[in-house]
Amino acid sequence: MTPERSEKLLKVLSKRQANLTVVLENVQDPHNASAVMRTCDAVGIQEVYILTTKIPRHKKWGYRSSSSALKWLTIHEFDNLEACVAALRKKFSKILTTHLSSDAVSLHDINFTESIALVFGNEHAGVTEEFRALADGNFIIPQMGIIQSLNISVACAVSIYEAMRQKMNAGHYDKASLPQAQMDSLLTQWGFETEEPEVYKVFKEKRK
């Protein structure tokens, strides 16, 4: 691996956000899921949760849509709602679902400096009632048009770019937030020799 490539991987990993994730519940089209993964990589989300309780588990993703983002992300797949929520509760303080309801808050009123998991549902039915019952609340994306809905990948992109904006303003991208053990594991998966490059020693020093 060239020094330039090593530096690129370390720079990307240092921007990964440990306290933000996306959950896709019963998203039917694998290309929609893959497009979401691509956007997650772009804003520094490392872990994506896939829940399939009403559809078969995806055998493959739309690789063209993901533009190889799958290689760089950690995908957690579940076919049990309670197990998925339990896993989320271990890492994130708040779970919010996209759902148009009287108590839904605006995307722009969410405090993304907190630890948050955003849940996006099926293209036609949205997030299930069962998942909403276990979440901490609902949110909506403000819209001015007649058709009050967005494609799942677009809705996710709008939402997590708002999260990125807030987190950048709060300085969350200025210092690596993933645990060191997770970072080392990811670097190994990405083909990075952690014991070799001097740049890695410098990177670890900056974390202290």
21 vs 71: which has the higher pLDDT: 21
pLDDT confidence of 199, banded at 50, 70, 90? low
pLDDT recorded at residue 65:
47
Q: Are 116 and 92 in contact (CB under 8 A)?
A: yes
Condensed to tens digits (0 to 9), the pLDDT of residues 87-111 reads 999 999 999 999 878 789 999 999 9
pLDDT confidence of 138, banded at 50, 70, 90? very high
CATH topology of domain 19-173: Alpha/beta knot (3.40.1280)
Rounded Cα gap, residues 86 and 83, in angstroms: 5
pLDDT at 195 over 70: no
Structure-token pair, residue 174: 């200025």
Condensed to tens digits (0 to 9), the pLDDT of residues 59-81 reads 776 555 445 788 899 999 999 99
Q: Where are the domains of the chain?
A: 1-16+176-208, 19-173
Burial class (CB in 10 A: 0-12, 13-18, 19+), 184: middle
Q: Are 27 and 123 in contact (CB under 8 A)?
A: yes
* Nearest of 18, 40, 4 to residue 175 by alpha carbon: 18
Q: Per-residue pLDDT averaged across 132-157, rounded? A: 91
| pTM assigned to the model | 0.90
Q: Per-residue pLDDT averaged across 14-35, rounded? A: 95
